[in-house]
Structure 1
Amino acid sequence: MNQNPQRRVATTPAPSASTPGDARKLADNMMDVMSALLGVIERETELVRAGMLREAMALEPQKTDLSRRYVNAVGQLKASQKYLSQTAPELLTTLHRYHDTFRAMLQINLTVLATAHAVSESIIRGVNTEMQQRNIPNTYTAAGRRATPGPRHMTPIAVSRSM
């Protein structure tokens, strides 16, 4: 039996555009959300590149809220895509171009975050290796080779993930 049943979130259907004014509002909302999210992402990228991880982590609530709004705006646009493609194809084209720029900037952010993760992991592994070498006794076998330490000589390193 499943002890922790998954909660299902009730989703409401996204309202679709039925007038040119609605279509314009949806497009403006999408552009505003992407612009705001892009601003936060660019700031996060700058902070991570500068090594200011605490400050970058402080942007998380704002980034989460804007991401939620972005997903909602995409849902609304998907619900209105048929109407938009028939009545305002130039608006849809503009949104696609803007979204391509948004995706490119997001890819830069993801690359910076992945690099920071890889560097920090490398540092932790280096510290662990150094600590393990200090804990390993320098002994030799009868053949004059360095003895391989047993598991009891390996001491795990503990890392606090909270900053």
Structure 2
Amino acid sequence: MNQQPSRPQAPAPIPAASTPLEARKLAEYLLESMNTLLGVIERETELVRAGKVREAMMLETHKSELSRRYVGAVAHLKASQKYLTQNAPELLTSLHRHHDTFRAMLQVNLTVLATAHAVSEGIVRGVNTEIQRRNIPNTYSAAGQRVQPGRANITPLAVSRSL
């Protein structure tokens, strides 16, 4: 009576578009997913640029859900690639152009987020340096040289990552 642990079932294969109507619906869904996600990303970019990080963080749940929708639509597109290439190449070309614009906007968003991260990290490092400078005693050796304090004199800086 050995029971083997049940294996997680593989996800069902994604159905490929096989008619012009299905291809058109897929394209519309993908475009709608990209446009909706792009709207949220643009809003996040505006908020971070304005220094309203807390408000930008509130968009995270909605952005994650839209990202899942977008990834699902892209998976459906990949499954339908052969049909679209053979029967709707102009539709596929249009989707590629729209996706290139989408990627460019994502790159802007990532650049803004990386800049905000670098600035905040610089501020925290500056605060830490100032705290350490004030807490470390100034001592000198018998030769009159400044002595570097040991690790016991360094006070750790604790930062809460939740706003």
Q: Give the structure-2-normalised TM-score.
A: 0.93
Distance 1:97 1:84 in 2: 15
- 1:84-106: CA deviation from partner (whole Å, max 9, x where unpaired): 01110000000000000000000
Distance 2:151 2:41 in 1: 44
The aligned residue for residue 4 of structure 1 is none
Q: Secondary structure at the match of 2:155?
A: coil
Distance 1:148 1:75 in 2: 58
Give the residue type in structure 2 aligned to 1:89: P
The aligned residue for residue 75 of structure 2 is 75
Pair 55,137 (structure 1): closer, same or farther in 2 beyond 3 Å:
same
Distance 2:122 2:11 in 1: 42
The aligned residue for residue 149 of structure 2 is 149
Q: Secondary structure at the match of 2:31?
A: helix
Q: Secondary structure at the match of 1:40?
A: helix
The aligned residue for residue 37 of structure 1 is 37
Pair 40,15 (structure 1): closer, same or farther in 2 beyond 3 Å:
same
Deviation at 1:9, TM superposition (A): 7.4
Distance 1:62 1:25 in 2: 23
Deviation at 1:136, TM superposition (A): 0.4
The aligned residue for residue 17 of structure 2 is 17
Pair 9,162 (structure 1): closer, same or farther in 2 beyond 3 Å:
farther
Consecutive unaligned residues in structure 1, runs of 5 or more: 1-6
Pair 160,9 (structure 1): closer, same or farther in 2 beyond 3 Å:
farther
Distance 1:122 1:9 in 2: 47
- 1:124-155: CA deviation from partner (whole Å, max 9, x where unpaired): 00000000011101111112121101111001
The aligned residue for residue 90 of structure 1 is 90
1:108 aligned onto 2:99: no
1:130 aligned onto 2:137: no
The aligned residue for residue 46 of structure 1 is 46
Q: Secondary structure at the match of 1:159?
A: coil
The aligned residue for residue 121 of structure 1 is 121
Distance 2:139 2:53 in 1: 42
Q: How many residues align?
A: 157
Give the residue type in structure 1 aligned to 2:116: A
Distance 1:96 1:47 in 2: 29
- 1:55-95: CA deviation from partner (whole Å, max 9, x where unpaired): 00000011000000011000000000000011100000000
Deviation at 1:12, TM superposition (A): 2.1
Distance 1:10 1:36 in 2: 30
